[in-house]
Structure 1
Amino acid sequence: MKGGDILDLKVEKLTYKGAGLAKVEGFAVFVKGSCPGDLLRVQIVKANKNFATARILEILEPSEHRVKPFCPLFNACGSCHWQFVDYDFALLQKQLIIKEALRGEYSVPPVLKSPKTQEYRFKAQCPVGETKVSKRLLVGYFKEGSHEITDIKYCPIQPRVFDEIFDYVRKNWTLGAYNEKTGKGLLRHAVLRGSSASKKESSALLTLVLNSDKLFQKQREEIEKFLKGAPLASGCSINYNPKKTNTIFGDKFEHISGAEHILEKIKSKSYIISPQSFFQINPSAAAVLFDEVKKHIKQDSSVLDAYGGVGAFGIWVSDIAKNIVLVEESEQAVKNAKENFKLNECKSYEVFLGNAKERFKEFSRNKRFFDHVILDPPRSGCEREVLEVLSTITNSVIYVSCNPQTLARDVKILEGKGLECETVQGVDMFPHTYHIECVANLVRRA
């Protein structure tokens, strides 16, 4: 098999990263945009020793699980990977992805559904660019596998107010947009964070990410003028990011006008969230995720909320836990966490700012023990040393992960330290994408 070959094949399953997998005489072929059960005519794009990638030339027989995407820009936008797959069937595929990442060694129940599958995304980070000739502003998402911006005027997975605010930016921003190739131009990203709890139209924080480390007076005046006409945004901040990087935010934020945070309410809990603080983008499914974590917490227990952010998990379990200790490296998130513990009238809590690994080591040296550790690390997972230290201060780890592959690696490390993985429950935080949140419950047997 070589690049350019044309062949017919049938897709067996979906894989992490989104592509469908087919086997041709036992050889793996990955096909983007394919659905299990599809009979396809494809062209090999690239073939190596272990697998090949291919593109669809023709759908000879569509799968019974293939549906029409509800977004008119699905084929041009790279954000939703599986809109063409029936939702319930996509959940079965996600369950299979988790099982395979864990090599079938643990109990993996059916993935828990998101209560909302449209208008569920309450944070959006849109790259901004310009057309080459007319310099018309583009605000949208990158096409899959590229840094070419698709101008998105309507996105059905985010609130309608987001479309309106982004359109205002598109039509009224006058200070130019960033060019990734030249490194010049001012506006890099427009970022919105909204609240599902607000009944007001103006319920979103707008952050303008600038390719600069400061604003000149004329720029500041122009931005202030721009914001006066943006009534749908409840507050605005500037983020300065002059580095040539794919990271969206730089280190420095400046509040410009209006509200400095939004208030998210999920069931009986309330959360103050600043633009730079992490919080789940799907509030309706966050309640499902938080409840899944909570069911593993014992009454009157001590809980370490590791990488605790604004206190999402710690506050959710605070009504059954005896004491919550939160550790977080972001100064703004710690500020929000302290406000949130007070806002929710939590009685016994401690909040620590600083390097998480060093704080965990300090707990271990001081022989401070916790009944449970809620562990919610970045997508890359945890360092081995962090896991080894945490295993000395608890007999129970509830590991929340957005990457089944790094979760599988880290579970093995924790098992090597005497903890046993009982179950791994998937929660669909990101409908119509291959992304999946997992909650692994690990306990030490007596």
Structure 2
Amino acid sequence: MAQFYTAKQRVTTKQRITVTIEDLDPFGQGVARHQGKTIFVSGALPGEQAEITLTEDKRQFARAKVTRLLSSSPARVTPRCPHFNTCGGCQQQHVDVVLQQQSKAQALSRMLSKEAQRVVAVDEVIAGEPWGYRRRARLGLQWQNKSQQLRMGFRQEASNDLVDIQQCPILTPELEALITPLRQCLRELKAVKRLGHVELVQADNGPLMVLRHLDALHVDDREKLERFSHKHQLMMFLDDGSENLTALSNNQPFYQSHKLKLTFSPQDFIQVNDAVNQQMVARAIDWLDLQPDDRVLDLFCGMGNFTLPIGKVVQNAVGVEGVAALVRQAAYNADLNSLKNVSFFQHNLEEDVSRQPWAAQGFNKVLLDPARAGAAGVMTHVVKLAPQRVVYVSCNPTTLARDSQTLLLAGYQLERVAMLDMFPHTRHLESMVLFKKT
């Protein structure tokens, strides 16, 4: 008789331990220490005692989730959004806004102090309203065959599944009010099973929407969308995956900044938090100490968010950006606002810039606003220009700290640091730093 060997199933029990949370990292995770190891605990706050379960155990650190909260911090607040525990958009709605800002500022200080080899304090926190601030959002769309329903919302943390949101209190009130009627409109389309996502943007002249559709739209669907746009006074654009959008209205979106009218395409990058952006631009102008005879270089300039307001003050301002469409939009806005002393160039700033026509124009002040990858490719050239002042705006403290080292080694002094609370209730940490030539 044949005999078959069956291995005994290995049973593993996830370790549960009790810890006291000592700190909060900038990503909203509680920080505890157990037997010499740092443990990052999602959902826990400083001063709280909690029973936790390890979800990841490495040699240097571990991650855990709260099994049972044994004590509660005064800084713990009730999340305003009913989707907070499932939606991956926000990570810190359970944390008092003051503590959110403090933890991010402390993390920024630690990282910059390490590079500067001295204590670098954060001088100020630039913030706006913590709710209703987000003027741009992309909502995913998923058709569920089993339930025959359309889901519309943000993705769950570490998942491709969408949370079918009913509200989103960090969106501007005008955009949040569109969620329910928009879902109903999309459910009634013949193309409901072949939709990709919707982009909602709050311009100063009203809300706009971009609908990504995977197949050509039936004429009935276009008519329904046009009626929806008229009813909700919404600028509507259709995206079929080609280079250009199809506009269902003639209005062009714009926003105002420092008494300038800045038009933009729905595909263009604009800062999500208008209130913080306005303060950030004003602070950059102040820190650069702009004078009428200054020549200012703005690297990674986008569509001129800093360049155009700077151009109102100085002799000459030059913006350089890698995305050609943003350069065209920036140049258009310079003409629209009669700024003849402002010019824009397109160049990949990760490549050599020494032979570019703008590279040797004798700039005495420089501003950088790179993406998360930082500005490593251009830092050496910035040093060669020897500007009196450099303002670096960052959305990634790691690359900011790395690029700061180039300026510090070249004799620049780190003078001012501000934490930008551009994305309250999330893990994003943005900042701006002033360097002066000693």
Q: TM-score scaled to structure 2, two decimals?
A: 0.88
**Preserved contact between residue 114 and residue 285 of structure 1 (Cα < 8 Å):** yes
Pick one of 92, 109, 133 that aligns with 1:82: 92
Secondary structure of residue in 2 paired with 1:360: coil
Aligned-pair distance for 1:133? 1.3
Structure 2 Cα separation of the partners of residues 276 and 321 of structure 1: 30
* 1:36 aligned onto 2:36: no
1:433 maps to 426
* Partner of residue 134, structure 1: 147
Moved more, 364-373 or 253-262: 364-373
Please name the residue that 1:152 is paired with: 165
Give the 4+ runs in structure 1 shifted more than 4 A.
363-366
| Match in the other structure for 1:187 | 195
Could you tell me how far 1:169 is from its partner in structure 2?
A: 3.3
Larger Rg: 2
Take 1:331 and 1:260, find their aligned partners in 2: how far apart are those partners? Answer: 23
Secondary structure at the counterpart of residue 295 of structure 1:
helix
Contact 2:135–2:171 under 8 Å retained in 1: yes
Residue 329 of structure 1 contacts residue 355 of structure 1 at CA under 8 Å; is this kept in 2? Answer: yes
- Partner residue in 1 for 2:372: 379
Task: Tell me by how many angstroms 1:96 deviates.
Answer: 0.6
**Cα separation, partners in 2 of 1:25 and 1:207, compared to 1, 3 Å:** same
Structure 1 range deviating more: 405-414 or 352-361: 352-361
Distance between the aligned counterparts of 2:367 and 2:377, measured in 1? 17
Distance in 1, Cα, partners of 2:15 & 2:383: 51
**Aligned-pair CA distance for 1:358:** 5.2
Higher mean displacement: 32-41 or 11-20: 11-20
Q: How many Å separate the matches in 2 of 1:353 and 1:260?
A: 27
Displacement of 1:352: 1.3
Report if aligned partners of 2:128, 2:421 keep a CA contact under 8 Å in 1: no
Asked if the contact 1:276–1:332 (Cα under 8 Å) also holds between the matched residues in 2, the reply is no
Superposed, which structure 2 residues align to 1:345-360 within 5 Å?
A: 345-357=338-350, 360=353
Q: Which residue of 1 aligns with 2:213?
A: 210
Query: Among residues 286, 291, 297, which one is paired with 1:299 in the alignment?
Result: 291
Task: Measure, in 2, the Cα distance between the counterparts of 1:237 and 1:3.
Answer: 53
CA deviations on 1:169-203 (whole Å, 9 max, x unpaired) are 321222456xxxxxxx53221101112x44xxxx1
2:286 equivalent to 1:310:
no
Amino acid at match of 1:235: M
What is the SS of the residue equivalent to 1:112? Answer: strand
Distance 1:388 1:163, change over 3 A: same
d(CA) in 2 for partners of 1:363, 1:417: 23
2:413 equivalent to 1:420: yes
Aligned to 1:228: 227
Greater shift in the superposed pair: 278-287 or 154-163: 154-163
Cα distance change, pair 364–172 in 1 and its aligned pair in 2 (3 A): closer
AA matched with 1:156: P
Contact 2:109–2:122 (CA<8 Å) still a contact in 1? no
1:274 and 1:332 in contact (8 A); partners too:
no
CA distance in 1, matches of 2:225, 2:359: 54
Cα deviation digits, residues 334-356 of structure 1 (max 9, x gap): 23212322333324111113333
Contact persistence 2:156–2:163 (CA under 8 A): yes
> 87, 108, 123: which one pairs with 1:98?
108
1:316-337 alpha-carbon deviations (Å, 9 max, x no partner) = 2223222110112223322321
Structure 1 residue aligned with 2:59, among 34, 49, 70? 49
Alignment match, 1:283: 274
Query: Are positions 1:125 and 2:138 aligned together?
Result: yes
Aligned partners of 2:113 and 2:120 also within 8 Å: no
Q: Deviations over 1:15-41 (max 9, x none)?
A: 233322111132110111121122111
Deviations 1:208-247 (A, max 9, x none): 2234xxx54x546633443332322532223345xxxxxx
Structure-2 separation of matches of 1:264 and 1:87: 27
Residue-by-residue CA offset, 1:230-288 (whole Å, 9 max, x unaligned) = 322532223345xxxxxxxxx72322311463121235233212111111111111111
How many positions carry a matched residue from both structures? 418
Query: Does the Cα contact within 8 Å between 1:139 and 1:150 map onto a contact in 2?
Result: yes
Q: TM-score, normalization: structure 1?
A: 0.87
Deviates more, 1:373-382 or 1:166-175: 166-175
SS in 1 for 2:137: strand
1:281-315 Cα offsets, whole Å, 9 max, x none, are 11111111112211122312111111111111112
What CA distance in whole angstroms lies between the structure 1 residues aligned with 2:327 and 2:220?
Answer: 32
**Cα distance between partner residues in 2 of 1:419 and 1:158:** 40
Residue ranges of structure 2 left out of the alignment (5+ in a row): 1-11
State how far apart, in whole Å, the 1-side matches of 2:418 and 2:429 are.
10
Identify which range, 165-174 or 17-26, moves more after superposition.
165-174
The one-letter amino acid paired with 1:314 is T
Structure 1 match to 2:312 = 319
- 3-state DSSP class of the match of 2:296? strand
In terms of mean alpha carbon deviation, does 324-333 or 104-113 score higher? 104-113
Supply the AA of the counterpart residue of 2:132: E
Name the SS for the 1:253 alignment partner: coil
* 1:344 maps to 2:354: no
After TM superposition, give the deviation of residue 422 of structure 1 in Å.
2.2
Residue equivalent to 1:390: 382
- Sequence identity, in percent? 26
Deviation for aligned residue 1:368: 2.3
Give the CA RMSD over aligned residues. Answer: 2.4
1:132-169 Cα shifts (integer Å, max 9, x gaps): 41221111111222221111121111123323433333
SS of the residue corresponding to residue 362 of structure 1 reads: coil
In structure 1, the residue matched to 2:252 is 261
96-105 or 290-299: bigger deviation: 96-105
